Amino acid sequence: MICTDGLANIGVGSLEDKKDNKDGVCEVEEFYKKIANYAKCKGVTISIITIKGGDESDLETLQHVYVETGGNVNVVEPEEITKNFTNIFENPVIATNVTVKVKLHAGMEFRNEPVNNLSENNTIMTRGLGNVNEDSEITFEYRMKDAKVLAEMPEIDLLTIKEIPF
């Protein structure tokens, strides 16, 4: 759990002076992505509590940490900190290092999914979720393959096929 009263402004994770490296990548964002990936690999969930009315916490940069690890973010009034700690612990992690694998019929393919998550002509998607709780969800998009691609597939006869199972 990360608790903050505002923008991280001291040390290696300082958000005060965001700078890009020679490749045009924001070094601080990369720092928080590395933290998120490390925590995810170790099965650690990171939630963030920030005080309302304090300095801006730059939750856009910090989102990598709580999104990738299955945590959450709470912006709280100072007098409600105890209540919010209780709420975070009411939704425990039920599994760590979770990976989801979905297989589609050969005539279908996934859409808008990173190439490194796909295999077998875009019909198998493997996505690492990290930690999950009872509120965790996964969504994906799929579609029929292009007619030209389907016509070249020996296992699909476009003249006789009436449906493709999902």
Is 165 a residue whose pLDDT tops 70? yes
Tokens of 160: 């006789």
Question: Is the CB of residue 154 less than 8 Å from the CB of residue 107?
Answer: no
If asked whether residues 146 and 102 sit together in one domain, one would say yes
On whether residue 75 sits in a domain, the answer given is: yes
If asked whether residues 74 and 124 sit together in one domain, one would say no
Tokens of 113: 């999914």
If asked whether residues 10 and 26 sit together in one domain, one would say yes
If asked whether residues 6 and 85 sit together in one domain, one would say yes
On whether residue 117 sits in a domain, the answer given is: yes
If asked whether residues 66 and 103 sit together in one domain, one would say no
Tokens of 153: 């597939």
Domain containing 132 equals: 95-151
Task: Answer with the residue of higher pLDDT: 31 or 5.
Answer: 31
Query: Using one digit for the tens of pLDDT, what is the confidence trace for 55-65?
Result: 566 777 777 78
Question: Is the CB of residue 76 less than 8 Å from the CB of residue 4?
Answer: no
Q: How confident is the model over 137-150, as a mean pLDDT? A: 90
- Phi/psi of residue 46, each to 5°? -120, 120
Please report, rounded to a whole number, the percentage of residues in the chain having pLDDT higher than 90.
17
Q: What are the distances in angstroms from CA 60 to CA 64, 65, 155?
A: 8, 10, 47
Distance from the Cα of residue 139 to its chain's centroid: 11
Indicate whether this model's pTM tops 0.85.
Answer: no
Average per-residue pLDDT in the chain? Answer: 80
HSE-CB for 166 with a 13 A CA cutoff = 7
If asked whether residues 16 and 72 sit together in one domain, one would say yes
User: Residue 66, Cβ neighbours under 10 Å: how many?
Assistant: 21
Q: How confident is the model over 60-81, as a mean pLDDT? A: 77
Task: Answer with the residue of higher pLDDT: 132 or 59.
Answer: 132
Is 79 a residue whose pLDDT tops 80? no
Q: How confident is the model over 15-23, as a mean pLDDT? A: 63
As for how many domains the chain has, the answer is 2
Tokens of 72: 């959450």
Confidence band, pLDDT 50/70/90 cuts, at residue 23: low
Confidence band, pLDDT 50/70/90 cuts, at residue 96: confident
If asked whether residues 111 and 49 sit together in one domain, one would say no
Query: Using one digit for the tens of pLDDT, what is the confidence trace for 103-118?
Result: 999 899 999 999 999 9
- Of the candidates 72, 67, 26, the one whose C-alpha atom is nearest the C-alpha of residue 47 is 72
Please list, in sequence order, all residues whose beta carbon lies within 8 angstroms of the beta carbon of residue 114, skipping any fewer than 6 positions away. Answer: none
